[in-house]
């Protein structure tokens, strides 16, 4: 793919795991990348250094993407650094935070998870439009949006499902402006997320039962994202594309 050279992108949660893989992949295609992070500055700096060593161009921006003022500042800074425009937005920030049954959940838990997994997507999409004239948005949803998630992850799953609905709504609203909006729904991907929140026996069971007999890699998700923002997918919008090794068909 060569049509991405000198495009500009904001990748939320771009410091590690899937976000890092996406940031690296886009930079390798010649995209100028704003890598968003919130807490893990060391990981963000490492990602930036990896891109620079490979000859790419990137910047870091610390922002809590559940806060409107911080999102607005991030988009303005990225546009200023990269020539006044943003061509690509990848809404990757999100997380499960922990596992709680509905009886263990409270309003603060609900609000934190929905803010992280859906409000962030809504805010970033809203604010990037000031700087996007034609372009592509990719939302990183989850297999949990399809099947309700694993035990104790109901609100996380609902937040990711909201991202899918927003993808379709924005595809309709923004299509006339030449902006395509798609989502990807990763299943079990070999990341810190599953190292932290998924029991080893559950991962081993997937290795035995998945049609491809393995977990996915973050780089494989990044390859799909790269395709969805390139001219090779120019007639795709409003889609939620599964990437789960055949564990779930939708």
* CATH of residue 58: 3.40.50.720
Can you give the pLDDT at residue 193? 66
Q: Residue 232: pLDDT above 80?
A: yes
Within a domain: 248: no
- The phi and psi torsions of 58 (rounded to 5 degrees) equal -155, 165
Between strands 32-37 and 8-11, the pairing is parallel
Q: Which of 1-5, 69-73, 210-214 has the lowest mean pLDDT?
A: 1-5
Can you give the pLDDT at residue 100? 97
Domain of residue 159 covers 8-243
Alpha-carbon separation of residue 26 from 120, 161, 217 (angstroms): 21, 26, 16
Within a domain: 250: no
> CA–CA separation, 124 vs 94, rounded Å?
13
Within a domain: 64: yes
Can you give the pLDDT at residue 73? 98
Model pLDDT for residues 34-67, shown as the tens digit of each residue: 999 999 999 999 999 999 999 999 999 999 999 9
Establish whether 235 is a catalytic residue. Answer: no
> CA–CA separation, 12 vs 36, rounded Å?
5
Q: Residue 14: pLDDT above 60?
A: yes
* Cβ partners under 8 Å of residue 200, min gap 6: none
> What's the Rg (C-alpha) of the chain?
17
Model pLDDT for residues 164-215, shown as the tens digit of each residue: 999 999 999 999 999 999 999 999 898 766 667 667 877 777 678 888 888 8
Mean pLDDT, residues 69-86? 98
Within a domain: 110: yes
Q: Which of 67, 61, 68, 83 is nearest to 13 (CA)?
A: 61
Within a domain: 139: yes
| This prediction's pTM | 0.94
Can you give the pLDDT at residue 4? 97
Neighbours of 14 (CB within 10 A): 31
Mean pLDDT, residues 125-151? 97
Q: Residue 1: pLDDT above 50?
A: no
- Average pLDDT of the chain? 94
Mean pLDDT, residues 138-143? 98
Domain count, the chain: 1
Within a domain: 204: yes
Question: Could you give the percent of the chain with pLDDT greater than 70?
Answer: 96
Mean pLDDT, residues 69-78? 98
Within a domain: 207: yes
Task: Please indicate whether residue 248 or residue 128 has the higher confidence score (pLDDT).
Answer: 128
Sheet containing strand 58-62, strands side by side: 58-62, 32-37, 8-11, 88-91, 135-140, 179-186, 240-243
> CA–CA separation, 55 vs 107, rounded Å?
46
The catalytic residue among 37, 110, 131, 156 is 156
Mean pLDDT, residues 14-32? 97
> CA–CA separation, 237 vs 250, rounded Å?
17
Q: How far is CA 226 from the centre of its chain?
A: 12
């Amino acid at each position: 793919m060569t049509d991405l050279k000198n495009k500009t992108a904001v990748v939320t949660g771009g410091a590690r795991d899937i976000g890092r893989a996406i940031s690296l992949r886009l930079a390798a295609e010649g995209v100028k990348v704003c890598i968003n992070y919130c807490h893990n500055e060391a990981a963000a700096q490492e990602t930036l250094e990896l891109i620079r060593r490979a000859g790419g161009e990137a910047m870091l921006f610390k922002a809590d993407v559940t806060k409107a003022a911080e999102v607005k500042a991030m988009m303005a800074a990225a546009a200023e650094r990269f020539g006044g425009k943003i061509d690509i937005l990848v809404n990757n920030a999100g997380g499960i935070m922990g596992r709680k049954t509905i009886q263990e959940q409270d309003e603060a838990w609900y609000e934190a998870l929905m803010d992280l997994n859906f409000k962030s997507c809504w805010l970033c999409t809203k604010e990037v439009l000031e700087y996007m004239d034609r372009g592509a948005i990719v939302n990183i949803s989850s297999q949990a949006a399809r099947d309700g998630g694993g035990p104790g992850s109901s609100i996380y799953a609902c937040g990711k499902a909201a991202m899918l609905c927003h993808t379709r709504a924005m595809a309709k609203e923004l299509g006339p402006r030449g902006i395509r909006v798609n989502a990807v729904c990763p299943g079990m991907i070999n990341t810190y997320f599953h190292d932290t929140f998924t029991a080893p026996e559950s991962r081993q069971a997937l290795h035995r039962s998945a049609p491809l007999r393995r977990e996915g890699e973050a780089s494989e998700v990044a390859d799909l994202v790269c395709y969805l923002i390139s001219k090779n997918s120019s007639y795709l919008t409003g889609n939620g594309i599964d990437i789960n090794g055949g564990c779930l068909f939708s």
